[in-house]
Structures are given as structure tokens and as C-alpha cells.
């Protein structure tokens, strides 16, 4: 039997799972289910990455030991995967003995082969990324919690494998996908590749796998984490099992972790004499609107909220349908609702309903038979359409063109709707009941095939459709036309996709979780655009004694703001002064006057407002304050 071994990244156990993590895991699940449907023997691995400084610190701040902390937190992932109907065959935790033992053996083997050496290293270390960063990265200002670190460490001779890796990538176009990512890696490899620091001194980090040949150090988390892909299938533990599954068919990853997977991992494997995985596939990011989803921006979509609102299958469908594999996609509640209502409620749900209702009403709730000879033009076209997509789906799946496969199946669903408009069984029934039955049979059979093809994406609701139209539960790979048997009773059934009009409103009402109200993150603060502004003109706003209208200059730009300071300042006191404004607030109209920005002030003695002013000549209008 052909084998298919698929993996997801192992997620940081500290993270609160969001829709991005759910995406990779659902994608792996859909691929795993397709391959099972096609008759392959599948091994689907996911898990959690549990060592490293962040975990150690998180445990410390909660006054608990790291192991207990991990045990408590890992459940959030396991529970989510259960709720999302993820069919993983294994869940690996890097703190399990079956994993750490393999990491140590791999380290020892590399050490024995002379692939590891000790050296003094001085560099910039980003605690948040858990890695040393380059001078260029440091200068970019994009890295947080950066410390200068000088220490002795163990290194892996990664540089020795640069040429072999380039050759491998060039000779195996399927190795890194999609092509843009492959080019990115080849670009990266045009510069000399350094060696990889694979240890952390215990003085700085204890929560890790101890180096078997030097107890003063623990293993670098990425080395440890990557090894999960082989430890989980029995490397150095169970040769038969390892040979059965390795090399993996596809490591699914997000584009954020391309270098570790496409450079560190293959060179580690080469050094250890282990074959490389067939494909590393890097998908894009789910953005919230235009921004990357991140906890610090407070804009994460929590999968469980969405599931509670609409059910598991529509979430799975939307994520798979709306991301072109490899590219970024933008999540908005509005797009979700549109997709749901048009594809699932209208096209698919209504169709299933109409067919079941009609058969219940006119054919005693049993699958009607075929009429021979019938007018075959429309029948043939529908059958051909169904057979065509049945042929295409396996190919599209193997090429990772999942959204196209789904779109093709939805095309078949729409074709069934068209077919019913063409044949009009509700008219046929009046003159020729058998002819109407023939049409219903065709519609139901095409729907059965579409539902079966969509089963890996929406396992629960496609099962409901199957029952509704009286299709038997048959063998896995049963896409052949004509399997629906006339005379079979239809199951009871609800509309599997009621329309959804409440999601947008509901999702907007929720405050982000775990953010105490009085705390902002660095990223929150970064969003505020504070500027020095010079007051060019000031006058009272007619009809109120509270508001002043200020014409301000931000250097290159002039604008108006309306401020409630008229009881504290006379207009003429203000002209020519430099104040501080929040420049990126949404414009509003106050008493018919446009106000673009707000000014900074403090409440002084006796409730008097005092403006924050600037008198340093080095701070002209327009300067950004941070
Ligand atoms: N622990 C490492 C991976 C080690 S694998 C040997 C790690 N973990 S993570 O928790 O940060 O998960 C990263 C993965 O989650 C990404 O590679 C991607 O698959 C998924 N996603 C996280 N945020 C995402 C989006 N906003 N959009 C899509 N997927 C993203 O890195």
C-alpha cells in the first residue's frame, strides 16, 4: 500500500492556539484524510515544542516548574485538535522520553563523527526569537529583547553541507515548495553558510535536552524541535517502524520557519546520514485584514469562538477554500460570512435540502430509479462533469492545489443546481413521474459524489448529507458513478448549513482575551503616532464654551483639530506654541468641525488642564515622538 507521512510544525506550548495554528493542522488533516480516502496508509504527526527559555520563564512567572507548566498548557492544543476533528495518528511532545532519548543519540552520533566542535561566540541574542541574530537584523530594529552575549558553545559544522544542499535543492524541484520559497532558500544559500550554534549554557537555560557529552549545556531548541519528525517514527528506537515511515512525504510549515526547515534540518540529516524528507511545503500567513495575526497586536481569531458560533466544518471549509496555498490570505468575519452563505448555505445546503424534500414528497422517501430510455443530454453532461472532477481531485491534491480541488467540487455542486433548472423535475412530475425520478436520481448521485469528495474537508456535515440522500456508507474510495441504489430509504435530515447573518456582529463585540485592561504591549504603543505640532491658528467653536479649533502644522502637513480646552486656554495663548498630538486617530466631526487628531494634556492643580508643550528647538513640528 502506498504510504503517506505528513507533519505539522510542533507548536510552542506557551502559545494560545489561534486560527493560524489551526490552519496548518487542518491542512495536514485534510491531506491525511484525502490520502486515506485514496487508499494510502497514512501517518499524520503533530505535537508541541516544549523546551526553551520562554517556557522556563513562563513557568517561573507562574511559580510552577516547567514540566507542570507544559502539562497544563499542552491540553489547549490537544483539546482544540479534538474539537476540530483532527485525525492525527500521533502527538509528540519534546519533553517526552521517547523524544529526548533520540535527540541525545543524534547529538552523540554527530559528536562521534566530528560534526560538532566548541568555540567562543559573541553576538546579539534575541530572547523572543530564541536565536542569535545578525548585525543587519539587529539594525532593522525588528527584534525585541535583544541581549549582547559572549559565551562558549557547541557548534554544528553546517557550513560543510552548503554545496550538497544546493545540489539537492536543484536536483529535486519538489523538495521545497512552492517555487517562490525554493528560490528564497537558494538565494539565502548564495551567501556563505555559517555553522550552527546548537547549545545553550545551563547558566542561562536549564529547560532543555542535556548534551550527552557535556553536561554544562542543553541543546538549542530548534535542533531539539526539528528532531521530532524522526523521533516520533522510531529513529534509533525501532528500525522497522522508522523505515516504514521515513522519509516524510511532506513537512507542512508556515513561511516564517522556512530557514530552519529548509537549511538547518536537511544539513542535520545529511550529517547524520539520514535521507531527506521529500517535500517541505511552506504556506503563507493568515492576516487579520492587512496585519499579521499576533498575540501582541491583540488581533488573533480564536478558533474555538468561531467553532462555537458556526460549527467545525464551516471553519475548516473556509480556511481551506480561501487560502491559495503558498500565498497570504486575509481573514475577516465579513469574508467568512460571505463564503459561508454563498457556497455552503446557498449552493450546497439548499441543494441537498431540495433534493431530499422532493424525494420524500414524491417518491416515498426512497431513492428513485433511472428511466430508460430517458432524454440523455443533460444527464450525460452531469455524469461527465462528476467523473471529470473525480479524476482531477487526486492530481490537484498531490500538487497541493487544494483550493482548486475544492473549487472544482463546488463547480460540480453548481452544475447540479443548473441541471435541476434544466430538467425541472417539479414540472416533469406532473406528466411523467419516472422521468422526474430519473432527474432526481442524477441530481442525488452527483451530490453524493460531491459530498464524498468534500468529506476530508467537512467530515461531519458531508456525512449528514450522505445520510439525507440515502447513500450507503461504502468503501473509502467510492467515487464511481452509479453507486446510489434505487429503492434505498432516505435518512432523516436537517438543513446542514443554515444561513449565517449574525457572525459579523457577534465577532465584533468580543474583547481580546488575557489582556488586563490597563496594560498595553510594546506593539500597541508602537501603533500610536505621536507628533510635535505647531499651533498656527486658534479660535473658539461657535455655540459652545468648551471647544477650541486649532489649525496645526505637522511640518509637511497642516490640519485641524478640535479640543475641549476652551475653559483653560485663550486662543491667543496658543498660537506659535508647539504641542504634542496623536496624529493617527481616526478623523471625527465635532459640532460640524473636522478634527484629525487629539492633543496631549495633563490635569494639573485644581482641575486645570495643562498642555504638554515642547520648547526644545531640536524638536520642530512634525517630529515623531516615541
Ligand atoms: N515551535 C516552532 C516550530 C518547530 S517545528 C520543528 C514554531 N511554533 S509556532 O507555535 O510559532 O507555530 C508556527 C506555525 O504556526 C507556523 O509555521 C504556521 O504553520 C502556523 N502559524 C502561526 N501563525 C500563523 C498565521 N497567522 N497564519 C498561518 N499560519 C501561521 O514556530
At residue 429, does pLDDT exceed 90? Answer: yes
- 383-386: Cβ within 8 A, 24+ apart: 383/442, 383/446, 383/481, 385/411, 385/412, 385/415, 385/446, 386/412, 386/445, 386/446, 386/449, 386/450, 386/481
Segment 514-532 mean pLDDT: 69
User: Pseudo-torsion of CA 117, 123, 124, 126, nearest 10°?
Assistant: 10
At 333-380, the pLDDT tens digits run: 888 889 999 999 999 999 999 999 999 999 999 999 998 766 678 999
Q: What is the location of CATH 1.10.730.10 in the chain? A: 332-509
Q: What is the pLDDT of residue 295?
A: 64
Atom number, ligand 1, closest to the C-alpha of residue 286: 27
- Beta carbons of 247 and 276 less than 8 angstroms apart: yes
Which atom of ligand 1 is closest in space to residue 293's alpha carbon? 26
Q: Which atom of ligand 1 is nearest to the CA of 12?
A: 10
Q: Which residue's alpha carbon is at the smallest distance from atom 20 of ligand 1?
A: 21
* Ligand 1 contact, 47 CB (< 6 A): no
| pLDDT > 70 fraction of the chain, expressed in percent and rounded | 93
pLDDT score at 132: 80
From the CA of 255, how far away is ligand 1's center (Å)?
8
Fold of the domain built from segment(s) 522-625: OB fold (Dihydrolipoamide Acetyltransferase, E2P) (2.40.50)
Does the C-beta of 207 come closer than 6 Å to ligand 1? Answer: no
Q: Per residue, what are the HEC states of 544-558?
A: CCCCEEEEEECCCCE
Distance from residue 420's CA to the centre of ligand 1 (Å): 45
Q: What is the pTM of this model?
A: 0.79
Whether 257 is in the pocket of ligand 1, judged by its Cβ within 6 Å, is yes
CA dihedral 407, 410, 415, 420 (to 10 degrees): -170
Which helix or strand (DSSP H or E) is residue 201 part of? strand 199-201
Q: Which residue has the higher pLDDT, 155 or 325?
A: 155
Which of 409 and 508 is assigned the larger pLDDT? 409
Q: Residue 343's CB: how many other CB atoms inside 10 A?
A: 21
**Element containing residue 442 per DSSP (H, E):** helix 433-454
Task: Decide: 49 in ligand 1 pocket, CB within 6 A.
Answer: yes
How big is the chain by its Cα radius of gyration, in Å? 31
CATH 2.40.50.140 in the chain, residue ranges: 522-625
CATH topology of domain 332-509: Isoleucyl-tRNA Synthetase; Domain 1 (1.10.730)
For residue range 188-228, what is the model confidence (pLDDT) as tens digits?
999 999 999 999 999 989 999 999 999 999 999 999 999 99
**Cβ(373)–Cβ(436) under 8 Å?**
no
Adjacent-strand bridge partners of 254: 283
Rounded Cα–Cα distance for residues 598 and 586 (Å): 10
Residue 48 Cβ < 6 Å to ligand 1: no
Task: Measure the CA–CA gap between 53 and 125, rounded to whole angstroms.
Answer: 12
Residue nearest to atom 8 of ligand 1 (CA): 11
What pLDDT shows up at residue 510?
45
Q: Sort strands 601-603 and 609-611 into parallel, antiparallel or unpaired.
A: antiparallel
Residue among 257, 285, 290, 319 whose CB has most ligand 1 atoms within 8 A, to mutate: 257
The answer to whether the CB of 29 is under 6 A from ligand 1 is: no
Atom of ligand 1 nearest to the CA of 24: 19
| Ligand 1: centre distance to CA 22 (Å) | 9
Cβ(26)–Cβ(306) below 8 Å: no
pLDDT category of residue 556 using cuts at 50, 70 and 90: confident
Amino acid at each position: 500500500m502506498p504510504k503517506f507521512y505528513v507533519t505539522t510544525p510542533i507548536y510552542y506550548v506557551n502559545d494560545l492556539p489561534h486560527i493560524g495554528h489551526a490552519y496548518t493542522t487542518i491542512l495536514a488533516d485534510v491531506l491525511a484524510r484525502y490520502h486515506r480516502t485514496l487508499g494510502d496508509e497514512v501517518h499524520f504527526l503533530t505535537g508541541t515544542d516544549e523546551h526553551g527559555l520562554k517556557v522556563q520563564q513562563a513557568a517561573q512567572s507562574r511559580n510552577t516548574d516547567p514540566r507542570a507548566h507544559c502539562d497544563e498548557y499542552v491540553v489547549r492544543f490537544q483539546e482544540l485538535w479534538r474539537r476540530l476533528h483532527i485525525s492525527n495518528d500521533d502527538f509528540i511532545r519534546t519533553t517526552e522520553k521517547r523524544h529526548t532519548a533520540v535527540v541525545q543519540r543524534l547529538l552523540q552520533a554527530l559528536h562521534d563523527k566530528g560534526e560538532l566542535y566548541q568555540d567562543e561566540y559573541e553576538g546579539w541574542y534575541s530572547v523572543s526569537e530564541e536565536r542569535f541574530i545578525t548585525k543587519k537584523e539587529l539594525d532593522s530594529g525588528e527584534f525585541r529583547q535583544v541581549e549582547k552575549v559572549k559565551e562558549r558553545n557547541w557548534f554544528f559544522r553546517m557550513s560543510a553541507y552548503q554545496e550538497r544542499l544546493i545540489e539537492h535543492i536543484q536536483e529535486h524541484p519538489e523538495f521545497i515548495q512552492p517555487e517562490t520559497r525554493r528560490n528564497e532558500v537558494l538565494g539565502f544559500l548564495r551567501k556563505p553558510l555559517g555553522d550552527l550554534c546548537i547549545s545553550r549554557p545551563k547558566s542561562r537555560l536549564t529547560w532543555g535536552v542535556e548534551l550527552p557529552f557535556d553536561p554544562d549545556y542543553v541543546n538549542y531548541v530548534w535542533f531539539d524541535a526539528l528532531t521530532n519528525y524522526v523521533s516520533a517514527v522510531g529513529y534509533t528506537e525501532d528500525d522497522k517502524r522508522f523505515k516504514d515511515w521515513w522519509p516524510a512525504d511532506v513537512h507542512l510549515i508556515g513561511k516564517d520557519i522556512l530557514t530552519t526547515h529548509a537549511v538547518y534540518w536537511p544539513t542535520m540529516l545529511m550529517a547524520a546520514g539520514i535521507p531527506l524528507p521529500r517535500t517541505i511545503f511552506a504556506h503563507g500567513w493568515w492576516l487579520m485584514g492587512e496585519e499579521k495575526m499576533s498575540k501582541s497586536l491583540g488581533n488573533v481569531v480564536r478558533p474555538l469562538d468561531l467553532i462555537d458560533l458556526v460549527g467545525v466544518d464551516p471553519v475548516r471549509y473556509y480556511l481551506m477554500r480561501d487560502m491559495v496555498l503558498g500565498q497570504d490570505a486575509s481573514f475577516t468575519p465579513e469574508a467568512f460570512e460571505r463564503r459561508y452563505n454563498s457556497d455552503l448555505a446557498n449552493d450546497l445546503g439548499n441543494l441537498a435540502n431540495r433534493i431530499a424534500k422532493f424525494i420524500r414528497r414524491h417518491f416515498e422517501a426512497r431513492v428513485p430509479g433511472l428511466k430508460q430510455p430517458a432524454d440523455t443530454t443533460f444527464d450525460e453532461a452531469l455524469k461527465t462533469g462528476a467523473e471529470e472532477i473525480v479524476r482531477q481531485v487526486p492530481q490537484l491534491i498531490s500538487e497541493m492545489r487544494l483550493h482548486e480541488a475544492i473549487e472544482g467540487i463546488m463547480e460540480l455542486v453548481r452544475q447540479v443546481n443548473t441541471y435541476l433548472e434544466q430538467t425541472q423535475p417539479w414540472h416533469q412530475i406532473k406528466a411523467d413521474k419516472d422521468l422526474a425520478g430519473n432527474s432526481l436520481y442524477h441530481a442525488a448521485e452527483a451530490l453524493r459524489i460531491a459530498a464524498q469528495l468534500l468529506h476530508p474537508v467537512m467530515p461531519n456535515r458531508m456525512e449528514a448529507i450522505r445520510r439525507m440522500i440515502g447513500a450507503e456508507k461504502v468503501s473509502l474510495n467510492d467515487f464511481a458513478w452509479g453507486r446510489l441504489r434505487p429503492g434505498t430509504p432516505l435518512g432523516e435530515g436537517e438543513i446542514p448549513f443554515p444561513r449565517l447573518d449574525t457572525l459579523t456582529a457577534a465577532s465584533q463585540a468580543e474583547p481580546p482575551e488575557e489582556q488586563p485592561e490597563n496594560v498595553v504591549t510594546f506593539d500597541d504603543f508602537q501603533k500610536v503616532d505621536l507628533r510635535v505640532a505647531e499651533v498656527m491658528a486658534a479660535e473658539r467653536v461657535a455655540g459652545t464654551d468648551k471647544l477650541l479649533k486649532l489649525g496645526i502644522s505637522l511640518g509637511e502637513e497642516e490640519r485641524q483639530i478640535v479640543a475641549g480646552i476652551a475653559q483653560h486656554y485663550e486662543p491667543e495663548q496658543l498660537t506659535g506654541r508647539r504641542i504634542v498630538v496623536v496624529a493617527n486617530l481616526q478623523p471625527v466631526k465635532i459640532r460640524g468641525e473636522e478634527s484629525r487628531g487629539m492633543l496631549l494634556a495633563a490635569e494639573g492643580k485644581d482641575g486645570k488642564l495643562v498642555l504638554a508643550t515642547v520648547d526644545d528647538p531640536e524638536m520642530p513640528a512634525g517630529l515623531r515622538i516615541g
